[in-house]
Amino acid sequence: MYLFRNIAYNFNRFIMGKVALITGIGGQDGSYLAEFLLMKGYKVRGIVRRSSWPNTKRIDHLDIYDERYGKNSKSPFYLLYADLSDSTSIRNVLEEVMPDEVYNLGAQSHVGISFQCPESTLNYNTLGPLRILEAIKDMGIKCKYYQASSSEMFGRSLPPQNEETIMIPQSPYGVSKLAAFHLTRLYREAYELFACNGILFNHESPRRGLNFVTKKITRSIADILVGNREKIILGNLDAKRDWGFAKEYVEAMWHIMQHEVPDDFVIATKETHTVREFLEEAFNLFGLNWKDFVEISDKFKRPAEVPALLGDASKSLKILNWEPRTRFKELVRLMIIEDLKEGLNDNGLVLLSENRSDEYYIDIGRKIAARLIEKKKEESNFQSGTSYHKV
Ligand code: NAP
Ligand code: G4F
C-alpha cells in the first residue's frame, strides 16, 4: 500500500513541487523556516500540539490556508495536530502529508527547565525523533530528515567546538539531544536514510522565547524604559555563548538538506561573548549602566553549566558555502529595537503604523533613559541628604 502511495506521490510532487513537514513550527526556528521554505516554493505542513492558549502566534501571519484546496496536496500551508510523544499521531501525519523533507525542530528546548522536567525532555527530544525515524523507515517514505541538534551537546568540552569535538553534555536537555544526534547518525548508517544533524549554536531573534537569557534581557530593558519594570533578575553572567541570528540559521538547515549526501554540520558565528557582555552591549545602547538594574539570584542558576561555547563552522562554509551575516552587536540591537517598539506601542507612546526608522526608536529610548538617570541621581541625593540630616 505504501509503495503505491509513494509512486502516486512522486508523480504528484513532480507536478506540484516539494512538500516540507516541520515539527515545532510554532517555535522561533519553525516560524522562520516556514517563511523561508514557502518563499522557495515549497508546500509547508506543520505539526502543532494541543494547547489551552494559542501557541501559533509566530505563524499566524502565514494564514495562507486556501479555501479552494482545503487541506490537500495543493494547499501552500496548513497545520496538523500531533505530538512528539504520540507515535500514532506522527504516523498519521506522515501518511497524510507524504513529505519530501522532514525538519524535526519540535523539542522541550529550555536547558534550565530540563533539570526540572528530565523525563518529558527525553520523551520529546529523544524518543520524539526516534518515533519519526522509525515511522519513516517502516513506512518506506523516501524523504530527507533533519534533526535539530545542539551545541549544548558539547557540554564542558573546551572551545572552539566542531564536528570532531568530544561531547560531554551538562544537562538532561544536552543528553536528550546527544542521544537523538546518535539515533539520526545510526539510522543514516544502518538503514541508509537521508538523515542529517544540524549542530546549531545559540541563535536568537525578536521571536526568541521570553525565558531565554537574550530575550529576557532585551524585553526587560524595554519594560524598564517604558516604566513597567525596575530590575532584571538573572543567574550566571559568566557563561559564554556563540550567538547568531535565527533567521539566517534556518537557511543553513535547508542547505544541509540539499547537500548531495546526508551529513552533520556545525552552524555558528565563531564569536563568543559572556552574558555580562550581552547586558553591557544592550544597556550601553541607551547610555545606561547594567549594574544599576541587574540582580543575581540562585533561582536562575543551573545544577550544572556549559561554561563556554564557540563554534567552528568551517566545514559548513567549505561544503555548504554557508556563513553568518549578522554579528553580535547587530543582533543585540535588532532584538532590543523590536522589544522597544512593542513596549512603546503597547503603552500608547508611539504608533507602530507610523513606520519610523530604527534610529528614531533608539533615540526615544535614549531620551527616556536620560530622564531615568536624572531621577536615580535625584533619589540618591535625596537619600544621602536624609542620612546627612540624621547624622
Ligand atoms: P522553541 O522556540 O522552544 O520551539 C520549540 C517548538 O517545539 C515549539 O513550537 C513547541 O510547541 C514544540 N514542541 C515542544 N514539545 C512538543 C511536543 N511534545 N510535540 C510537538 N511539538 C512540541 O525552540 P527553537 O529555538 O525554535 O529551537 C528549535 C529546535 O532547535 C529545538 O529542537 C531546539 O532544541 C533546537 N536548538 C535550538 C537552538 C537555539 O539556540 N534556538 C540551538 C540549537 C538547537 P509549543 O509552542 O506548543 O510549546
Ligand atoms: O539563553 P539560555 O537559556 O540558553 P542555553 O542554555 O545556552 O540554551 C539555548 O541554546 C542551546 C544551544 O547551545 C539550545 F540547544 C537550547 O535549546 C537553547 O536554545 O542561557 C544562556 C546562558 C546560560 O549559561 C544560562 O545559565 O545564560 C545563562 N543565564 C543567566 N541568567 C540565564 C539566566 N539563562 C536563562 N534562561 N535565564 C536567566 O535568567
Residue 15 in this model has a pLDDT that exceeds 70? no
How do 203-204 and 244-245 pair as beta strands?
parallel
Query: For the segment 176-224, what is each residue's pLDDT rounded down to a tens digit?
Result: 999 999 999 999 999 999 999 999 999 999 999 999 999 999 999 999 9
Query: Does residue 30 line the site of ligand 1, with CB under 6 A?
Result: yes
Residue 74 banded pLDDT, cuts 50, 70, 90: confident
Residue 114 in this model has a pLDDT that exceeds 70? yes
Assign 21 to helix, strand or coil.
strand
Cell 570532531 found at: 164
Query: For the segment 45-71, what is each residue's pLDDT rounded down to a tens digit?
Result: 999 999 999 899 999 998 766 565 567
Query: Does residue 205 line the site of ligand 1, with CB under 6 A?
Result: no
| Cβ 5 vs Cβ 29: under 8 Å | no
Helix (H) or strand (E) holding 240, with range, is strand 240-241
Residue 6 in this model has a pLDDT that exceeds 90? no
Q: Which ligand is nearest to the CA of 204?
A: 1
What predicted TM-score, i.e. pTM, was given to this entire model?
0.94
pLDDT, position 308: 98
Query: Does residue 124 line the site of ligand 1, with CB under 6 A?
Result: yes
Q: What is the DSSP string of 22-65?
A: EETTTSHHHHHHHHHHHHTT-EEEEEE---SS---TTTGGG---
Longest Cα–Cα distance in the chain: 92
Ligand 1, atom nearest to 120 Cα: 18
Ligand 1, atom nearest to 152 Cα: 43
> Which one, of 153, 387, 112, 76, lies nearest residue 275 by Cα?
112
pLDDT, position 388: 39
Chain-centroid distance, C-alpha 262: 23
Cell 497545520 found at: 79
Give residue 227 CA to ligand 1 midpoint distance, Å. 31
Residues marked as catalytic: 150, 152, 173
Residue identifier of the C-alpha nearest atom 28 of ligand 2: 236
Instruction: For residues 170 and 306, give the distance between their C-alpha atoms in angstroms, rounded to a whole number.
Output: 6
pLDDT, position 256: 98
Give residue 341 CA to ligand 1 midpoint distance, Å. 26
pLDDT, position 381: 77
Give the cell for residue 216.
529576557
Length of the chain: 391
Give residue 239 CA to ligand 2 midpoint distance, Å. 9
Residue identifier of the C-alpha nearest atom 34 of ligand 1: 109
Chain-centroid distance, C-alpha 317: 21
Query: For the segment 148-166, what is each residue's pLDDT rounded down to a tens digit?
Result: 999 999 999 999 999 999 9
Query: Does residue 302 line the site of ligand 2, with CB under 6 A?
Result: yes
Residue 9 in this model has a pLDDT that exceeds 60? no
Mean pLDDT of 237-263: 98
pLDDT, position 350: 83
Query: Does residue 120 line the site of ligand 1, with CB under 6 A?
Result: no
Residue 382 banded pLDDT, cuts 50, 70, 90: low
Residue identifier of the C-alpha nearest atom 6 of ligand 1: 24
Instruction: For residues 6 and 242, give the distance between their C-alpha atoms in angstroms, rounded to a whole number.
Output: 42
Query: Does residue 310 line the site of ligand 2, with CB under 6 A?
Result: no
Query: Does residue 171 line the site of ligand 1, with CB under 6 A?
Result: no
